[in-house]
Structure 1
Amino acid sequence: MATGRDPNGKDDEDPWLKAVENADVFVMYNNDDEYEISKYIFTIFQNNKVTYVSPEEHIMPGFRTYQAIDQAISASKKMLLILSKESIENFSFSLETLLTLEKSLQTNKLRLIILLKDGLGEENIPKLPMLQLASHVILERNLHEKCIMNVIEMIRADVTIDSVLPAGNLAAGMAWSHFTGYLELVLPELAQGIQKCDWFNDNPGHMPLCLFMLLPHSGRSTGKLGDDDRDVEEVGQIEIIINHRPYSPKVCKVTERDKNGHIKSEYFCVAQYPGAFCALGTIKEEILCSFTKTQRDVEVQRFYHYLNEILNHEKYKQYGVLTKMLMYDDEEKGESATISYQLRKGVHDVIRNQLEKAAEGVKKTEETEHYRDEVCLLYHIKDTKLVFKVKDHLDKNKIRYSQARPASSGERDGDSLSEIERRVRDARWVILFITESSQKDMISMFLAEILSIGIETNSLNVIPVLNGITPAAIPSFMRWAMHICIDRDEDYLDMIVDAVRGKDVSMKSQIPVGNVAYGLAWGFFVNYLKHVLPDFRERVMQCMSKDPIRKYREKSRRNVVVSQQMWEIIPKSCKFRPSLSEVDAEIKGPWKVEKVEKHLHGAKRIFPCNLWHICTRDTDYYFAAEYLTPVKTLYNMHISMIAGLSYEQMMNQREDLTEQLRGILNTASKREEYQEKCGIIVYDDSSDEPLSSVIINTIKKETGHKAEHDALLRYLSKDEEK
């Protein structure tokens, strides 16, 4: 007996969901293209036994279409989105649908396929991260059947993201990594270090108590600060020791000249390129993953916004006053592209306190006169009372605004799509009210796209105002924006005005971090493993041939096993331990492997490596290992109470971090300098099994190590004969 469908979608056995789960692909397209798609695409699907479902053909009357689409996205094996010239401007999604689609792509599977017809190319795909990541097929008229067969192959293929980087996931992890791994440690000591140095005392009023962070759009750094700029010169460094580890922020002299080129004044400042940030440029240059220039530009901006939001949080406001980020386009010609210009301007801003820092890196309101309105209020009809309060407050503060209200489902009134698009484009800011009502209603793909790429062009800025829902309801492609929660922010009206006027707003709540694992994994590879792995085995051999290990081996009659990989240990609890001996007394050491020293991002970087020893009854095991540093960032984010990272989310991010790092290493292993030189050990630190046993069992499974051990022992024997 057939079951009827509950219009609210609450049937125990939902035939729609069952059909989606059993189908090979869930297909989305515009009604205007239904005849052509059914005749020319679905026919080929049927002939090749590809099962499909689509809202147009399979949703029963009386069921809410958008709810059905959300359910199908979550339940489907693969999704096919068909875009044509007619449909690309008319596609509409609810914010809830965008969020569902985004979450469905945060797995290790590439599930979304986009078919472009009517002459559309990849440049026509809306610039939403979840769409840019998808596989693309262009339907050519003279190769129609061949193109559809390519789509069928993609539907049947099991593609993972081992070597693909989802856009929008890098910046959050890198920003938190830089804060917890560097700024939070160094900044408390930096101000004292500056006040004690000669440059500060010999040049009163010409050296601010501030760390300047250079954020060029390219994501690249020069060898030394000022290498290609005559008005910037490295003159020394501030020596800081924290937990026995040295930190040496560079001090620069910045020269100011008059119109004739004569020296007018000299300033001193502490400046650097954040190492975590410069990974973005390295990824783009070395093509370590499918990372386009557009994605890089967006991630550069997002890094600024994430780090700015952290530094301006109520809990960390003492750090915000000690930093200034200088974001600039170094790929353009002109004075503003130079380091000296940026540092001079930054030093003047801090010392003279004449200019307020721009909120979220946006130009100040006096620079936005070419916009018709300062603000556009985008809202749902059920939020009219709330919007009225905001309008009244904007009027009192003499802020120009327009308002745009899309027609809700089943409603004739409301502003036309073209009028909404015009008002959004004509406003410097968009206040987007996200409530239970608006979250489930539709917005055009065009509107979603401009909300997403506004940050990229610096031409549009969005402030989501949440009422009755949590920050998790914001799709992460919009999470670079500051958000305001009416439920928790009593002064939300003043916060809106401050943000629009270009003031930093000190957040008192949790920051929605989105997915940070990808940024942490790529940052760790680019900023650490990439430098220590190429000559790793040679340095281990040198360490084995030196005292005291050599003398110990002479006395020992046990077999010697030396692991040929560096082992990154990931504790399931995410609790970081700096020394393996603290975890397990059976692990002896460490012995210092020759460290790698490089001058990177305008600073000297030291990459240490330790060799450890486990002794069993008949074998001595030697290996290089360490706890994976990014898990420390995850744990610090969790206990910070502001990162919006619950215990369950931390566990999920740890799993994602593990899988992404494995994928990066698998991809990197194709290059000889990284091949099979790094392995991952996931350790359940809540179990009774000691870490030493886990490491020994892992080394025993290490492929091909016997031949490598024999070669190593021959090397050591020759060295001893000498």
Structure 2
Amino acid sequence: MTSDRDDECYDVFIVHSSEDNSVAEQIDQGLTDKGLKTFAHYKDGIFQVGRRVFDNVLFAISRSDIVLILLTQNALSSHWVTFEILIGLEKSYRENAMCVRLVFQGVSETERLGFKTGTLELIPDIVVDFSEDSWKGNLVSKIKEKVTMRDILPAGNVAHGLVFSYYFGYLAYVLPATKEAIKKSEYYSEEANIFSQKFVIIIPASCKPKSIEGDYGDFLIEKMPKPLEMEFTHGDKKRKYNPTVYKITKTQTTESFFFSADIPFILATMSKMKELGFADIDLRFQVPRFRMTLRELVDHRNNPKCKNTSIIIQFEDKDAKTSPAKDIWNALQDEFSDQKETALLSNVVSSEGELKDRDQHVTAIVTYSSDVEADKTLAEEIMNFFMEKNVKFSNGDAKMQFKGLSRSRWNIFVVSESAVKDVTMAIQFEAALAKSISEDKVQVIPVLVQNSDINRISPHFACTTLLKKEDPAYLDKLWKTLQAGDTKMVELLPAGVVYEGLAYSYFVNYLPLNLIGKTEEGRDFKGRFDDGMKKYNGCCKCVYKLFVIVPASCSIPGPGTRFPKEEHLGPLEPVVIGFRKYFLQLYRLTLENGEQVCYAREYATSVITLHKMTGLVFSGLNGVEMKDQVKKFVEFSRTIVENPLFNERIGGNIVDKCEIVYFDDKMGQKMEQVTAVLEERLQEYIK
């Protein structure tokens, strides 16, 4: 049985901060009075209890014609509100019609104008004054107004593409290998008890990666001399991955932790785009989008190797004095506190009973920490309510009900600040949630104990939409959820315009550095070729060009693969910027007339992301869409490279230094055909 609400559609989805329930209710009633069918956060049963918050948002937006964002003093700084605006903009792009509207209420004109900058300039908005009789009609008119998308949409999907690029190019290798690499580290042998097993990912709001080491008063972060060591093959290149090891010390107590961390270099794509002024990008939306999508990706059910292997920290780096030190310390302290608090293991109690539904028998289990009076009282209240509904619970004292879990239909967890620290509770919750997601049915229902601070509840427990004891109707909502039948657990995230982020990453954050930068010896692009020709005894003509190969399959052969009649001579002297080295590979091709020509080429490794996304359910990208996106990647990349403003802003001309070569290997084109294309282009250049 599937819940009816899974197939329902709505005229308007009202997005609002939880502090604005009363305002949202007033707007909702006004729209209902005008005959619109609405969907709103505050309504009972609208956001499905037990479904992940991320999925509830995607569900609501995908089934609503208009996304109405209520902006009050409470909502202006909400990360969830900005995230929902961006998802709405992506829906607008897919449907080629603006479906987002902004409603300002109780906000000054100065604040409204300050908020409506960048991306938000495109979105129709209205100020609602409840004292005016005409507010309902004016709002409905704004909602029904047809707004065509502009030809050039702000870069709304850049962060989404960058997340997948960062994951497949780095995290997919590093996260599963971190624990073993740590054990081989010289610091681990002496500091095993204070070396975090999780990889810390630090996201600066400015998108300007920089070292986190330094003295920050209460905390000292030191960069250790030796990083972790890993080596993998990505696309056609062998790569060494060396995550940095840090030591953080609380100066007052001299307590310390060791941890490995990364500040994603790919984020610089967005800061550079903003600085260049080449594309309209709003970091207020892109950074939360990057963080939220990354968290969903690394902890997804289809990603067991990466699940629970990372800590993601976003921080405001407004000046040199701000740092993520405190957030890092708190996250590591929580990790080690969880490991130490094993004394509570005997206090986790699971009581189970049979719940008679209309047409089936299902089992419900209530799990709680019995040594906390408030938790115990709430659990008893839930069980007493179930008994009134013909749910018979035993007074069993069973621990770790994995056997019961495997046959249970519903798992209710009493959640409090103390309960979430219990290792047994965490393991049981994780197992229940994994079962729920794998079966694609809502099964896990957290209930928050009264007076517990939701902000102090681990995201591990708060990732699903929960009930609150402080809500007088929480038991009725619980019962409605159980009676609703099977509700889907996971919403697929539409892949959106991934190619934009991939193209910007490759042509803003990588290629110009390689083509315009100089080596430590001062050699420019042409000088690197001349040096390579001498080094490898080229003895032939040279085309000073990098050919970027893009296969339609987005699948790249392994290292050492050569095209027919081609010889790999070796790498040119690299451009070194910071700790990164940018190489070009020199090749020699024998033409049909026997003449030989040297040139550089590489695969556009960014498109590997599209290929790998098709194998990940969460991405929402299938093979047909992949082929469409890779074609758009090629077209968009050529647009970037040939744009005079882009070449001017990056400080040098790359249009005459590279060329994109696309071939449809899915249509039977062989490497011989790529050679033919290369030969044709080389002959043109040597003329």
- Same fold, judged at TM 0.5 (above): yes
SS at match of 2:598: strand
Structure 1 match to 2:615: 639
Q: Against the structure 1 CA distance between its residues 134 and 636, is the aligned structure 2 distance closer, same or farther, given a 3 Å change threshold? A: same
Q: Select 1:307's aligned residue among 294, 315, 323.
A: 294
Q: Against the structure 1 CA distance between its residues 174 and 355, is the aligned structure 2 distance closer, same or farther, given a 3 Å change threshold? A: farther
**Kept after mapping to 2: 8 A contact 1:563/1:699:** no
Matches of 2:115 and 2:538 in 1, distance apart? Answer: 64
Residue 338 of structure 1, CA deviation: 1.9
Q: Select 1:491's aligned residue among 434, 442, 445.
A: 442
Q: Deviations over 1:78-132 (max 9, x none)?
A: xxxxxxxxxxxxxxx982356998556359x999999xxxx99995699699864
The alignment status of 1:551 with 2:537, answered yes or no, reads yes
Worse overlay, 527-536 or 183-192:
527-536
Q: Against the structure 1 CA distance between its residues 121 and 571, is the aligned structure 2 distance closer, same or farther, given a 3 Å change threshold? A: farther
Structure 2 match to 1:517: 499
Residue 519 of structure 1, CA deviation: 1.7
Structure 2 match to 1:418: none
Q: Against the structure 1 CA distance between its residues 398 and 521, is the aligned structure 2 distance closer, same or farther, given a 3 Å change threshold? A: farther
Q: Select 2:544's aligned residue among 545, 554, 563.
A: 563
Matches of 2:90 and 2:681 in 1, distance apart? Answer: 36
**Kept after mapping to 2: 8 A contact 1:129/1:166:** no
Matches of 1:104 and 1:314 in 2, distance apart? Answer: 28
Q: Select 2:154's aligned residue among 165, 168, 177.
A: 165
Structure 1 match to 2:229: 239
Q: Against the structure 1 CA distance between its residues 549 and 627, is the aligned structure 2 distance closer, same or farther, given a 3 Å change threshold? A: same
The one-letter code of the counterpart of 2:298 is: L
Structure 1 match to 2:275: 285
Q: Gapped runs of 5+ residues in structure 1?
A: 1-63, 67-92, 137-156, 357-392, 401-481, 707-722
**Kept after mapping to 1: 8 A contact 2:92/2:149:** no
Matches of 1:113 and 1:214 in 2, distance apart? Answer: 31
The one-letter code of the counterpart of 1:231 is: L
The one-letter code of the counterpart of 2:548 is: E
Q: Deviations over 1:420-472 (max 9, x none)?
A: xxxxxxxxxxxxxxxxxxxxxxxxxxxxxxxxxxxxxxxxxxxxxxxxxxxxx
The alignment status of 1:351 with 2:336, answered yes or no, reads yes
Residue 264 of structure 1, CA deviation: 1.7
Q: Against the structure 1 CA distance between its residues 94 and 322, is the aligned structure 2 distance closer, same or farther, given a 3 Å change threshold? A: closer
In the TM superposition, 1:526-545 aligns within 5 A as 526-535=508-517, 538-545=524-531
Residue 511 of structure 1, CA deviation: 3.9
Structure 2 match to 1:678: 658
Structure 1 match to 2:557: 577
The alignment status of 1:653 with 2:629, answered yes or no, reads yes
Matches of 1:486 and 1:191 in 2, distance apart? Answer: 26
TM-score by length of 2: 0.57
The alignment covers a number of residue pairs equal to 459
**Kept after mapping to 1: 8 A contact 2:549/2:604:** yes
The one-letter code of the counterpart of 1:567 is: F
Residue 245 of structure 1, CA deviation: 2.2
Matches of 1:633 and 1:355 in 2, distance apart? Answer: 39
Matches of 1:182 and 1:487 in 2, distance apart? Answer: 26
Structure 2 match to 1:610: 585
Structure 2 match to 1:698: 681
Q: Deviations over 1:229-251 (max 9, x none)?
A: 87112112112222342111111
Matches of 1:650 and 1:232 in 2, distance apart? Answer: 43
Matches of 1:399 and 1:597 in 2, distance apart? Answer: 65
Residue 135 of structure 1, CA deviation: 11
Structure 2 match to 1:29: none
**Kept after mapping to 2: 8 A contact 1:543/1:592:** no
Structure 1 match to 2:64: 95
Q: CA-atom RMSD, angstroms?
A: 4.9
Matches of 2:529 and 2:212 in 1, distance apart? Answer: 31
SS at match of 2:254: strand
**Kept after mapping to 2: 8 A contact 1:206/1:267:** yes
The alignment status of 1:206 with 2:194, answered yes or no, reads yes
SS at match of 1:589: strand
Matches of 1:302 and 1:129 in 2, distance apart? Answer: 16
Residue 65 of structure 1, CA deviation: 11
**Kept after mapping to 1: 8 A contact 2:203/2:315:** yes
Residue 570 of structure 1, CA deviation: 1.2
**Kept after mapping to 1: 8 A contact 2:98/2:123:** yes
Structure 2 match to 1:254: 248
The one-letter code of the counterpart of 2:192 is: P
Q: Deviations over 1:117-172 (max 9, x none)?
A: xx999956996998644799xxxxxxxxxxxxxxxxxxxx99853xx6332x0221
In the TM superposition, 1:111-510 aligns within 5 A as 132-133=121-122, 160-161=151-152, 165-167=154-156, 169-223=157-211, 225-226=213-214, 231-236=220-225, 237-243=227-233, 244-258=238-252, 264-291=254-281, 295-331=282-318, 337-353=322-338, 489-492=440-443, 494=445, 503-504=459-460, 505=463, 509=490
**Kept after mapping to 1: 8 A contact 2:516/2:524:** no
Residue 651 of structure 1, CA deviation: 1.6
Residue 330 of structure 1, CA deviation: 2.2
Residue 285 of structure 1, CA deviation: 3.3
Residue 575 of structure 1, CA deviation: 1.2
SS at match of 1:189: helix
Matches of 2:596 and 2:294 in 1, distance apart? Answer: 46
Q: Against the structure 1 CA distance between its residues 127 and 353, is the aligned structure 2 distance closer, same or farther, given a 3 Å change threshold? A: farther
**Kept after mapping to 2: 8 A contact 1:540/1:593:** no
Q: Deviations over 1:316-343 (max 9, x none)?
A: 2332322111112222898xx4232232
Q: Against the structure 1 CA distance between its residues 125 and 264, is the aligned structure 2 distance closer, same or farther, given a 3 Å change threshold? A: closer
Matches of 2:284 and 2:303 in 1, distance apart? Answer: 27
Q: Select 2:646's aligned residue among 652, 668, 687.
A: 668
Structure 1 match to 2:412: none
Structure 1 match to 2:572: 593
The one-letter code of the counterpart of 2:528 is: Q
Q: Against the structure 1 CA distance between its residues 562 and 197, is the aligned structure 2 distance closer, same or farther, given a 3 Å change threshold? A: same
Matches of 1:399 and 1:614 in 2, distance apart? Answer: 78
The one-letter code of the counterpart of 1:326 is: I
Matches of 1:311 and 1:271 in 2, distance apart? Answer: 15
The one-letter code of the counterpart of 2:582 is: F
SS at match of 2:601: strand
Q: Deviations over 1:33-82 (max 9, x none)?
A: xxxxxxxxxxxxxxxxxxxxxxxxxxxxxxx999xxxxxxxxxxxxxxxx
**Kept after mapping to 2: 8 A contact 1:510/1:643:** no
**Kept after mapping to 2: 8 A contact 1:326/1:342:** yes
Matches of 2:458 and 2:571 in 1, distance apart? Answer: 50
The one-letter code of the counterpart of 1:527 is: N
Structure 2 match to 1:447: none
Q: Deviations over 1:673-694 (max 9, x none)?
A: 2332332111122325521111
Matches of 1:248 and 1:125 in 2, distance apart? Answer: 42
Matches of 2:114 and 2:317 in 1, distance apart? Answer: 28
Q: Against the structure 1 CA distance between its residues 65 and 323, is the aligned structure 2 distance closer, same or farther, given a 3 Å change threshold? A: closer
SS at match of 1:642: helix
**Kept after mapping to 2: 8 A contact 1:621/1:696:** no
Matches of 1:283 and 1:613 in 2, distance apart? Answer: 35
Q: Against the structure 1 CA distance between its residues 642 and 497, is the aligned structure 2 distance closer, same or farther, given a 3 Å change threshold? A: farther
